[in-house]
Every structure is written in structure tokens, then in C-alpha cells.
């Protein structure tokens, strides 16, 4: 099936704007400042699996080091561009798959990074050249779309993910002319975080469209939802007439009956 644009949700890039007069970091007040900024940028969702980082009224999840700080704690622990937000499952379990092998393969790059980096710690609010080089080598080994800022392929095209509503799965974005290697990289990332695995894949959008159908096209835009794709779907439909919203949600609802309940 040729997937129409209306059936695809673009997962945006997470691009935090660090303020010049604010101190960011991993711990204490700088850590609080950074966490608040990153949560705002992702609408309080995990930057890897997109689940809501909140349980009842309490925020959950962690500040997460994109490149493992064990490569060099002195530099990477407080490196602001190297810190994202993630749920505990992505941070402590899924992202760690293959960590030991990654670190072993990067031992030579690690030495070069340490010797050539003149780090200014918390004052650094952009990826320095040494960090960019380390990140490039890390990504070759890990095939993970690191956050924030994401990852670019050989053609300097951002690796982007879409959610295919029709098939209820995450896919490499169809908006870009990716090579086979690019697609393999993005699919590896999707598999690393088990985004499409049975038992792990989100049903948040299926639950939302069912509510919309039962409410005859009405929904509450400001509500928090368990997965970022619902927020992004609402962005897609918020300027549509209620009748069109209901029609689309009915189609999705019927499709979801086949995908999730058979």
C-alpha cells in the first residue's frame, strides 16, 4: 500500500536552545535547569521511545548521557550537549544493549578524544569538534540516533523516524532519499529500543482515537498523553473540522481493531 501523508506522523528533531545566562549540567541546580529545558523540548516524553515521563503527578525518567560517560567521566559527565531525557527502561536497559562491545571498539578513539579535548564543562553549550568526532565514531559502532540533536548520515541528512498510523509502527522517514545503509541504521535504532516489538509497541494512539470516536469527534487538546505520537497526531488534526476528525479516527479505529485485537 502506498502510504498517504495523512497516515504518517513525523517525529521531530529535539533541538534545545540553551540560554546564554543559564548554567546547565548534570547535577544540582544546573541539572535542574537542563532537565526543565529538555522536558519542555520533548513535551515531557522520552527522547528514545516517546513515552510520557510522568506517573500520576510526579515526573519520572532520567537525565541520560548520550555517549556513555564511562568513556571519560571528567569530560562527558557534565557535557551539556551530551545529555538528553529518557525513561528508565531506555536509559538503564535498552540503550545498554551492546554497551560493552561499543566501549571496547572505541578504546582508540577514546584516547584521542581525551588528548585533544579542551573542555570548558558546564559553559559548553554546543558540540565541539572533538565531541563531534567522538560522536561520529560512536554512531558508526552503535547505530543509535543519539539525542538531543540527533544524527546525520553520510549525505548530511538527518536520520528521521515517522510513525506509520496505518500499520501502527515506526519506520525510517519517507520524506528523505535514504541509502540502504541509512535505512539499516534507522531500523537498527528502532529495533534497539523495541519500538515495534509485540508487547512493547505503544497503543496510545489506538486508545486516543477510540475516545475520539466515542465522543463523536471531540477531544481535549491540552491533556497529557502516554506517548508523544498522540501529541503529534493532535497537532496534525487540530485545524480539521470535527466531522473530518471523526472520519479519520473512525478509519484508524477500524484498522486498529485488526492490528491489536486479532
Per-residue model confidence as pLDDT tens digits over 165-181: 999 999 999 999 999 99
Cα-based distances in Å from 22 to 15, 76, 81, 178, 230: 17, 19, 14, 38, 31
pLDDT digits (tens, 9 = 90+) for 68-83: 988 888 888 999 999 9
- Note the pTM of the prediction, 2 decimals: 0.92
Average pLDDT over residues 184-213: 96
Task: From 248, 186, 191, select the one nearest 217 (Cα to Cα).
Answer: 248
CA distances from 88 to 51, 56, 62, 69, 85 (A): 11, 16, 7, 17, 10
Q: pLDDT per residue over 38-51, tens digit each? A: 999 999 999 999 99
Residue 230: pLDDT band with limits 50, 70, 90: very high
Query: What is the C-alpha to C-alpha distance for residues 187 and 86, in angstroms, rounded to an integer?
Result: 19
- Phi, psi dihedral angles at 8 (to 5 degrees): -120, 135
Residue 6: per-residue pLDDT: 79
pLDDT confidence bin for 2, thresholds 50/70/90? very low
CB 145 within 8 A of CB 186: yes
* pLDDT score of 116 more than 80: no
CA angle, corner 211, sides to 219 and 223, nearest 5? 45
Statement: residue 122 has pLDDT above 70:
no
Query: Which whole number is the average pLDDT over 85-90?
Result: 96
Tell me: pLDDT of 200 over 80: yes
**pLDDT (mean) for 181-207:** 96
Q: Which of 191, 163, 147 is nearest to 11 (CA)?
A: 163
Which residues, including other chains, have CB under 8 Å from residue 64's CB and lie 6 or more apart? Answer: 47, 83, 84, 85, 86, 90, 91, 95
Residue 120 in this model has a pLDDT that exceeds 60 = no
SS3 122: helix
DSSP string, 74-108: HHHSS-GGGEEEE-HHHHHTGGGTTHHHHHHHTHH
- Asked if 61 and 107 count as a contact pair (C-beta separation under 8 A), the reply is no
- Residue 115: pLDDT band (50, 70, 90) is confident
Helix (H, G, I), strand (E, B) or coil at 227: strand
What pLDDT is stored for residue 168 in this prediction? 94
CA dist., res. 88 & res. 261, Å (int): 28
Strand partners, 85: 63
Rounded CA separation 78/26 (Å): 5
Grade residue 154 by pLDDT with cuts at 50, 70 and 90. confident
Mean local confidence (pLDDT), 233-260: 92
pLDDT of residue 107: 85
Over residues 147-171, the mean pLDDT reads 95
Q: Report the mean per-residue pLDDT for the chain.
A: 91
Amino acid at each position: 500500500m502506498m502510504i498517504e501523508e495523512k497516515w504518517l506522523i513525523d517525529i521531530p528533531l529535539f533541538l534545545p536552545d540553551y540560554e546564554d545566562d543559564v548554567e546547565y549540567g548534570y547535577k544540582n541546580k544546573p541539572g535542574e535547569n537542563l532537565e526543565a529545558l529538555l522536558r519542555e523540548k520533548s513535551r515531557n516524553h522520552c527522547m528514545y521511545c516517546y513515552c510520557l515521563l510522568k506517573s500520576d503527578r510526579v515526573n519520572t525518567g532520567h537525565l541520560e548521557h548520550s555517549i556513555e560517560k564511562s568513556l571519560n567521566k571528567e569530560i562527558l559527565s557534565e557535557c551539556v550537549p551530551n545529555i538528553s531525557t529518557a525513561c528508565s527502561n531506555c536509559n538503564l536497559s535498552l540503550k545498554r544493549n551492546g554497551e560493552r562491545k561499543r566501549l571496547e571498539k572505541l578504546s582508540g578513539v577514546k584516547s584521542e578524544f581525551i588528548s585533544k579535548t579542551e573542555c570548558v564543562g558546564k559553559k559548553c553549550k554546543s558540540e565541539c569538534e572533538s565531541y563531534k568526532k567522538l560522536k561520529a565514531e560512536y554512531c558508526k559502532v552503535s547505530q543509535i540516533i543519539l539525542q538531543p540533536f540527533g544524527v546525520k548520515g553520510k549525505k548530511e541528512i538527518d536520520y528521521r523516524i515517522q510513525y506509520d498510523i496505518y500499520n501502527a509502527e515506526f519506520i525510517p522517514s519517507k520524506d528523505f532519499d535514504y541509502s540502504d545503509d541509512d535505512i539499516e541504521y534507522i531500523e537498527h535504532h528502532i529495533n534497539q529500543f523495541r519500538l515495534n516489538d509485540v508487547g512493547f509497541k505503544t497503543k496510545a494512539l489506538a486508545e486516543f482515537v477510540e475516545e475520539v470516536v466515542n465522543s463523536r469527534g471531540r477531544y481535549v487538546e491540552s491533556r497529557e498523553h502516554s506517548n508523544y505520537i498522540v501529541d503529534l497526531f493532535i497537532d496534525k488534526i487540530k485545524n480539521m473540522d470535527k466531522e473530518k476528525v471523526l472520519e479519520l479516527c473512525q478509519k484508524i479505529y477500524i484498522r486498529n481493531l485488526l492490528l491489536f485485537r486479532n
